[in-house]
Amino acid sequence: MKRIIQSLLGLGVLVGGAFLVYAWHPEIAKIEPPKPESFAAELVEKGRVLAGAGNCASCHTLKGGPDYAGGRGMHTPFGTLYVTNITPDVETGIGGWSEQAFARALRLGLARDGAHLFPGLPYTSYKNITDADVTALYAYFMTRKPVKMEEPKSTIPFPLNVRLFQAGWKLLFFAPTPMQSDPGKSAEWNRGAYLAEGLGHCTACHTPRNILGAEKTGAAHFSGALVDNWYAPSLKGKGDAALPWSANELYAYLRDGGSPLHGVAGGSMGHVIEGLNRLPDQDIRAMAVYFADLSGNPVDPSAQEVATLMARNGMLPASATAEEKRGEVIFKNSCAGCHYNPPGLPNVLRPELSLNSAVTGPDPTNLLRLTLEGVSIADGLKDAYMHGYAIGLSDANVAAVARYLRRTYGPANEEAHSAWNTLDKSVGALRAVGREHK
Ligand code: HEC
Ligand code: HEC
Ligand code: HEC
């Protein structure tokens, strides 16, 4: 018996020791901040474009705060994590970080001192960024204006806040090897895959997560997920919209923030498009090619197919409820003046709600929030704007409009999407979320 206990203890020490060896990473020594003049202007410019594609600002810049100085709270199911300052300030930012330390943070989720970072920094995607692109990003960030600003302490409770335990998470869910290019596919496809699965970290929002916050794999990859009170729709197969996404429509959406056959990019996707703006056309095209391929390369629908979907034209069935009929009146009075397309191809400036994933998808969050908050000039299409109805419509009226749109344009098989059953409750909760984000 004693022998067994002794060997079990021995095994425990061995496993624990092995874990510590795996989990422990050395500090990388502080450096004197490199002089901004030491970076070539073209390299800095390349880094600026890449920082847009990586959407660094949407997490690292607090609304109304100085660029990249952090402080934004990320709400996770476990508590609030505050994003760090990545300006080159030596004390509170990354001024003392060598390129090696910067690269290790982005690709392996390790701070300069060796502590594990939380996957709120999407290093699980950024691990795919090439050395050359990291070098350009480093040049860009080291030439920003240093800002002295300390982020608040995270509210993630003990023991989840113990950074060493993140090593356990990595052991379970993170393979640091970067993705390989696929020789069976075109150079364009591979470029798209590199941008989407790396810097673009599209999967961070569009893939559902398990209870430990790791992205699910296999069929779940890009199958749509609720994140930070927005629903990021499925990006493969038939998707969540009425029509599948062809390469042309993907290109229009990613380039201009809207596609006539789908609608516009609102919510957190608006910021993504703003960042992608800096990329050249061929990169946007490459991502469109990659995502169209994930969906089996659907061709553009025929005008007839589009017309059939649009011809449903907001007609409620005879069995409609009183709430749906009330929603119809509100829609015709408040929305239809703009959201009406005569027969033919829809005009992107008046998004055709019958084709929109906010109406046809499994979750009502986007429809409710876009109705309440509108779509700002920065989001969606350049120069287009829709004011919000947070003041104009009561919870019950927003719910009624959503119910009407869902009944006229949503899928016939309602049971699959039970989130639509509790619309009235959702409106109140999402109204509060919208206020917090203002
Ligand atoms: C989805 C949100 C998100 C995006 C996008 C993002 N970051 Fe971060 N980043 C974080 C969070 C959260 C942390 C802090 C993690 C922690 O404290 O464990 C962080 C930490 C870092 C750190 C470590 C800083 C330190 O002091 O420990 C660096 C460096 C960094 N990010 C650079 C970048 C760059 C460069 C980009 C764009 C290519 C980027 N981040 C995009 C959320 C994000
Ligand atoms: C004054 C014109 C106008 C009115 C009235 C209006 N909208 Fe909009 N709506 C727009 C425009 C323009 C956009 C696209 C904005 C952009 O791209 O920045 C839009 C976008 C939307 C979107 C996002 C669509 C997408 O593709 O994701 C939804 C949902 C929406 N409107 C619902 C409504 C509802 C519901 C009402 C009535 C309660 C309404 N709108 C009233 C002009 C209007
Ligand atoms: C920060 C979270 C986030 C990231 C990162 C993100 N998305 Fe999105 N995406 C969303 C949300 C939310 C929507 C819904 C927007 C709406 O309805 O207005 C969306 C919508 C879309 C749509 C339209 C889908 C539909 O059926 O309506 C496409 C296409 C898309 N995203 C592609 C991408 C690509 C490509 C990337 C990576 C370059 C990406 N997204 C990264 C959150 C994100």
What fold characterizes domain 187-294? Answer: Cytochrome Bc1 Complex; Chain D, domain 2 (1.10.760)
Ligand 1 pocket check for 262: Cβ under 6 Å? no
pLDDT at residue 40 is higher than 70:
yes
Q: What integer pLDDT is reported at residue 7 of this predicted model?
A: 66
Average pLDDT over residues 312-324: 86
Average the pLDDT over each of 88-92, 263-267, 344-348 and give the range with the smallest value: 344-348
Ligand 2 pocket check for 389: Cβ under 6 Å? yes
Tens of pLDDT along 369-392?
A: 999 999 998 888 988 899 999 999
Q: Confirm if 66 and 82 have CB atoms less than 8 A apart.
A: no
Q: Do domains 187-294 and 303-437 have the same CATH topology?
A: yes
For ligand 3, atom 13, the nearest C-alpha belongs to 232
- What are the boundaries of each domain within the chain? 18-173, 187-294, 303-437
Query: For residue 2, what pLDDT band results from cuts at 50, 70 and 90?
Result: low
For ligand 1, atom 36, the nearest C-alpha belongs to 56
Q: What integer pLDDT is reported at residue 61 of this predicted model?
A: 96
Tens of pLDDT along 78-95?
A: 889 999 999 999 999 999
Paired residues of 259 in beta bridges? 263
Closest atom, ligand 2, to C-alpha of 384: 18
Q: Which ligand is nearest to the CA of 222?
A: 3
pLDDT at residue 368 is higher than 80:
yes
Tens of pLDDT along 203-234?
A: 999 999 999 999 999 999 999 999 989 999 99
What fold characterizes domain 303-437? Answer: Cytochrome Bc1 Complex; Chain D, domain 2 (1.10.760)
pTM for the full predicted model: 0.95
Distance CA 204, CA 259 (A): 23
For ligand 2, atom 33, the nearest C-alpha belongs to 371
Q: What integer pLDDT is reported at residue 10 of this predicted model?
A: 66
pLDDT at residue 161 is higher than 80:
yes
Measured in angstroms, how far is the CA atom of residue 256 from the centroid of ligand 1?
Answer: 27
Q: Which of 60, 74, 154 to mutate to test the pocket of ligand 1 (most atoms within 8 A of CB)?
A: 60
pLDDT at residue 16 is higher than 60:
yes
Measured in angstroms, how far is the CA atom of residue 389 from the centroid of ligand 2?
Answer: 10
Ligand 1 pocket check for 88: Cβ under 6 Å? no
Ligand 3 pocket check for 204: Cβ under 6 Å? yes
Instruction: For the chain, give the mean pLDDT.
Output: 92
Closest atom, ligand 3, to C-alpha of 370: 18
Q: What integer pLDDT is reported at residue 8 of this predicted model?
A: 64
Q: Which ligand is nearest to the CA of 374?
A: 2
Q: Which ligand is nearest to the CA of 231?
A: 3
Ligand 2 pocket check for 326: Cβ under 6 Å? no
